[in-house]
A and B are shown apart, each in its own frame.
Chain A
Amino acid sequence: MTSHVKIRLASERVNHSVPTNRELPRFYTPGEVVTGMEDFMRGHGTYASDDCLKASVAGVMQKVNKLICVRPLKNRYVGEIGDVVVGRVLEVQQRRWKVETNSRLDSVLQLSSVNLPGGELRRRSAEDEQMMRKHLQEGDLISAEVQSVFSDGSLSLHTRSLKYGKLSQGILMKVFPSLIKRRKNHFHNLPCGISVIIGNNGYIWISPPEQNNLVEEEKDEIVNVEVQCISRSDRETMARVRNCIAALVASKMLLDDTSIMFAYEESLKYDNVKELLDPEAMLDVAFLTQHRINNVLEE
């Protein structure tokens, strides 16, 4: 049985880095000389001074022909059309919602780019405008897709599909967007019976499986689903998935359904979910997961 309180000393700090078999790229710090000026082009994350290109952010260098960029490790989400994002409604405005999506500027969800209750497409009337807060209010979490990117980099979202929309009960995790692996599908029903939305913006939504059946039909039914109690076993599995993701993030490993599932399976040797909060257990899970990923890659 683990104790209720654990205090470790700074000297006992766990190094979360996990060895990989790939060669690690060179890491640049701000102000460091990347290259000389001669026929190179200055890209994002660099600046020119004293006839040299220097890094303006901490990250790794990327070279496309003559263009040199430094990609930061920690950054805000830079949206691309078609990305799946998880966001939180901040404000209800005229015909649109302001949504926080971990990008530099708040995103916009237009009233015209949501599916209104009732199904079929129709013109948005003045009543719809007045009912906007009934549909989504401040604080609500939504999953959405990036419809377009404005010239200032802010995003316009849409939820015009049954898989997008308001999220009900679950856990939201915030990780670095650079750790999310881009996949064809970001909605996963894990074999352990939990559904996960891995938003490209670094927001991960963990929810019990019933939530996917939530089709906007009868308003009463939806309210019912929203306050239903989640069973203890589902709750434990969700907490375990959450702690596994935290372990992978601490070791800076890429997140997708495979790595999360591998981590989940490796974590099963710890009976108690809260043991996974311990840095040693986190490192162990991340290490075993990396090992399995390496094995899969070799085959």
Chain B
Amino acid sequence: MAGLLLSPTEKVFIVHGVQDDHRSDGRTNIDYRPMELETNVVSHATGSSRLRLANTDILVGVKTEIDVPTPEKPDLGKIEFYVDCSANAAPQFEGRGGEQLAIGIAKLMQAAYHSSDAFDLKQLCIFEGKQCWKIYVDILILECGGNLCDAVSMAVKAALFNTKLPSVKAALMDGGNIDLQLSDDPYDAKSLDIGTAPLLVTLCKIGDKCVVDPSAEEESCSVISVVVGVTGNPSSYSTEENVSDSAKESKFTTIEMVGSGSVAPKTLKDAMNQGMVAAKLLDKALGEALLRERQETQVKTKKHSYGFLR
């Protein structure tokens, strides 16, 4: 997304490579670069995660607040996304430079989470019509190495997986107002049900084919990319087996084109199929990693945070 200068011959090389299903670093068109994930990195956030995909570095913090639900949807909570592009990521993000990109990603995330198949807002309801949880998801882009949307969506899902809402101990009715008493015990909290939370997959159209996880160089070779949001499979995120089959099925929750080009109908269909396959693989790998980390935390009582030291 950031402007990168490439010579015409370098572009020819990349385009031919995609055609050949063999990219500059040996990956095929549906391979992702290795990722690194850590949750619970920000101690004062309700949930947080950090994801590093090659050179793309994303930090997500989740904060919760008690809010009043909208009158039209009294039984639903709220979720809001905010993206901030650090000027450390790219020089053009300085000042208000990254605003357009940030708003674009936030809108995409909002659209992907909008469906009730993707994220059930009913679980954020505390007292119908009166009070609900509002979740603020703050996404910080620390480094930009291509494929921001995918990395952001995965980091968000990991951060929501890590989020625990405190349980309500007592509610005092005082006329029309409700006074809530929340539990102080950090272990007396419930996790969010995020199994079906969507992941975004960017399919970058290079030549006639589409690739997932484009590097910054590959991104500058393509004029248009298709971003699809695909719901996850809850069975990857819990050890329990009682998941209904309808929830297991992946569905598209958003489809968006980014860029100035156009796509032929057949290419779009192929891209969506490829996106569905990639999203399933991503979702499974993410679930495995998160469960593995949870297990590790349970074994060791005091977890040592790795954070940014490398």
Contact = CB atoms under 8 A, between A and B. Distances in A.
Interface of A: 3-11, 13, 88, 90, 138-141, 167-172, 226-227, 229-230, 232, 235-236, 238-240, 242-243, 246, 272-274, 276-279
Interface in B148-163: none
B223 to A, nearest CB: 16
A235 B20 contact: yes
Interface string B1-38: 00001111110110011001011111110111111111
Interface of B: 5-10, 12-13, 16-17, 20, 22-28, 30-38, 50, 278, 281-282, 284-286, 288-289, 292-293, 296, 306-307, 310
Contact of A169 (B13, B36, B286): B13
Contacts, number: 122
B9 A6 contact: no
Contacts of B306: 10-11, 13
A59 B30 CA distance: 40
20 contacts: A6-B32, A7-B286, A9-B38, A9-B289, A10-B37, A11-B38, A11-B293, A139-B8, A169-B10, A170-B10, A171-B13, A226-B8, A226-B12, A227-B12, A235-B20, A239-B22, A242-B26, A243-B25, A274-B26, A277-B34
Contacts of B50: 10
Main secondary structure of the interface of A (DSSP, over half): mixed
A240 B296 CA distance: 35
B13 A274 contact: no
A277 B13 contact: no
B34 A169 contact: no
Given A141-B10, A169-B9, A273-B26, A8 B20 contact: no
Contacts of B24: 171, 238-239, 242
A239 B5 contact: no
Contacts of B288: 7
A140 B30 CA distance: 29
Given A3-B281, A239-B24, 10 more contacts: A6-B34, A6-B285, A7-B285, A7-B288, A10-B36, A10-B50, A139-B7, A141-B7, A167-B7, A236-B26
A230 B16 contact: yes
A10 B51 CA distance: 9
Contacts of A226: 8-9, 12
